[in-house]
Structure 1
Amino acid sequence: MRADFAGAAALYDDAAVLARETGRRMAERLDLVKIAPRCVADVGCATGDGIRELRRRYPQALPLAIDSALPMLAAVRGRSGWLEHLRGRAPRTINADVRALPLAGGSLGLAWSNLMLHWLDDPRPALAELYRALEVGGLLMFAMLGPDTLKELRAAAQEVPLGHAVRTFLDMHDIGDMLVAAGFADPVMDMEMVTLTYATPRGLLSDQRRLGVRDVLFERMGWRDWRKVFAAWERVDQRLPASFEIVYGHAWKAAPRASPDGRAIVRLHRR
């Protein structure tokens, strides 16, 4: 998938309608929390919409743009003006996997991830790594695809019947449990459906190809089988609806309750 995502950098913005919308809604959620992070990171930054929003909100914070695809990071650097580079205000770009961040423990005040974590077969190592990188009191905020994503295509595939057709995504309750298991405190989860419409199936396929996720989103089937699925895809007002379940979450890194060797930590407060 990394190669597909890297190859999509030049066309990504043309198709990233959903990512821009979820990023906007994530940013609105930041209005509800009072934080003053010294360092912020957009993990899985793509072409950098998220880190630009974080830089706007927290101008005093060190901005980090992290992605596993070098062409995406090149796009982030290309969108920073020469004056930003001259003043040292351009995002620092880091080529890394979220499961192995080259960051010191406790170095982040805010970790932001928009529509990336669901592509991992198991997000638990990534959540543990994000927990490690956050400082005590730091905030993790993310958006992921949920299990009802492209439910219209799933229904069409069942009608044919031809399996699931679309990658299976985790339920928000499972994600909440994973956050707690990773050590996060007070996780807050919610979801909403965002529906895009297309004139033909080719429009959806083209968008996902330009995003670099087509091959990982759709199950492998022969073209004849896919034609059957597309034929069973029910139109609404002459358009093909494509619904995406968006799971939003945020959680805080609390002070540890045990030392690395397993001993309980007791904190005494003087009155």
Structure 2
Amino acid sequence: MVEFNSGLDIKRVRKQFNAAASSYDQHAVMQKEVGRRLDERFDYLKLEPKRILDLGCGTGQMLALMKRRYRNATLVGMDLAEAMLFQQQAGFLSRWFSRSSTLHLCADMHALPFVAGSFDVVVSNLALQWSISPDHVFSGVQHALARGGVFMFSTLGPDSLIELRQAWREVDPAPHVHPFVDMHDLGDALVRTGFVDPVMDVERLTLMYANLRDLLHDIKGVGAGNALINRRKGLLARSRFKRFEEAYEAFRTDQGLPLTYEVIYGHAWGAGPVQRRTKDAVTIPLEALKLHKKS
């Protein structure tokens, strides 16, 4: 099994997303656009799912899209950050979930707690880039999918935030942007974990900003700050940050400062639940979640 992004501090990831829950929807322009594009890919699949899992559901945008598309399905929104789930239930999307069969669970995508074959669809919008091991996540999804179920996802590729990465590299040897997994490596991981007929493609989206302050504010506002274990601790010297600003200005065009995202889309079909060997794992049937459903 190949481990990617092993330098990520998962506790830090959770802390950042919890802190950003109340500001997430205001700043998640790119995440919402990719979610819409991911949803459109279901147009080409003939599905009538009864149970759908949104892996890394955040404040619930993808869940709302799935509910519009599959009105009779039971949906489960799972996220590492409990504040995201609370925001989802209290925010503007709550009207979708209060009257629908939607359940919420705070859990780690590296240890999916569901019984075998629980879902007909697993969807994940821009969450997998926070994984320390795609193989481990994919294996769990394979286990949770019913035979013939589909896994549809988006994530970020290695050319994402390339301007940010290069500008920091010019002024500070400490890492500021964590590595992202290549599309071909993700496809190989799907095959290794037993998925059938994986389809992968990629596109680039570039957001333009008037200034660096707004750019960094958006990144922080969605909880996507530096979560590397070996990140620089403490405050950065003002002189060094000034040099970083100057380095980023080199990317300015007539439209403003660019921030590029390499967005990877993938889908594959489940071959049926796999045997899991973790003796201490706890699995949850969906019926148990319904007992705790918010009224």
Report the TM-score range of the alignment, normalised by the length of the smaller protein. 0.7 to 0.9
Q: Deviations over 1:77-107 (max 9, x none)?
A: 22323x963x5x1411111111222211101
Task: Go from structure 1 to structure 2 and tell me whether the alpha carbon gap of 1:161 and 1:238 turns closer, same or farther (over 3 Å shift).
Answer: farther
Q: Which moved more, 1:207-216 or 1:40-49?
A: 207-216
Q: TM-score, normalised by structure 2?
A: 0.80
SS of alignment partner, residue 49 of structure 2: coil
Asked if 1:80 is matched to 2:97, the reply is no
The gaps in structure 1 that reach 5 residues or longer are: 262-271
Asked if 1:251 is matched to 2:268, the reply is yes
Counterpart among 226, 242, 245 of residue 227 in structure 1: 242
Q: Deviations over 1:179-227 (max 9, x none)?
A: 1111111111111110011122111211111111212289538344343
- How many angstroms apart in 1 are the aligned matches of 2:203 and 2:114? 33
**Matching residue of 1:3:** 15
Q: Which has the higher contact order (CA 8 A, sep 6+)?
A: 2
Counterpart among 89, 106, 114 of residue 95 in structure 1: 106
Task: Assess if the C-alpha contact under 8 Å between 2:205 and 2:261 holds in 1.
Answer: yes
1:158 Cα offset (Å)? 4.9
Task: Go from structure 1 to structure 2 and tell me whether the alpha carbon gap of 1:155 and 1:213 turns closer, same or farther (over 3 Å shift).
Answer: closer
Paired residue type of 2:108: D
Task: Assess if the C-alpha contact under 8 Å between 1:115 and 1:145 holds in 2.
Answer: yes
The gaps in structure 2 that reach 5 residues or longer are: 1-12, 278-295
Equivalenced residues, count: 257
Q: Deviations over 1:154-186 (max 9, x none)?
A: 333455574764221110000001111111111
SS of alignment partner, residue 111 of structure 1: strand
Asked if 1:32 is matched to 2:44, the reply is yes
**Matching residue of 1:215:** 226
Residue identity over aligned pairs, in percent, reads 41
Q: Deviations over 1:11-47 (max 9, x none)?
A: 1001000110000000111101111111001110011
Task: Go from structure 1 to structure 2 and tell me whether the alpha carbon gap of 1:204 and 1:216 turns closer, same or farther (over 3 Å shift).
Answer: farther
**Matching residue of 1:66:** 78
Q: Deviations over 1:117-136 (max 9, x none)?
A: 11122222111111100001
Task: Assess if the C-alpha contact under 8 Å between 1:46 and 1:67 holds in 2.
Answer: yes
Counterpart among 25, 50, 54 of residue 62 in structure 2: 50
- How many angstroms apart in 2 are the aligned matches of 1:162 and 1:192? 29
Q: TM-score, normalised by structure 1?
A: 0.87
Paired residue type of 2:267: H
Counterpart among 20, 23, 26 of residue 32 in structure 2: 20
Task: Assess if the C-alpha contact under 8 Å between 1:77 and 1:91 holds in 2.
Answer: no
SS of alignment partner, residue 109 of structure 2: coil
Task: Go from structure 1 to structure 2 and tell me whether the alpha carbon gap of 1:161 and 1:210 turns closer, same or farther (over 3 Å shift).
Answer: closer
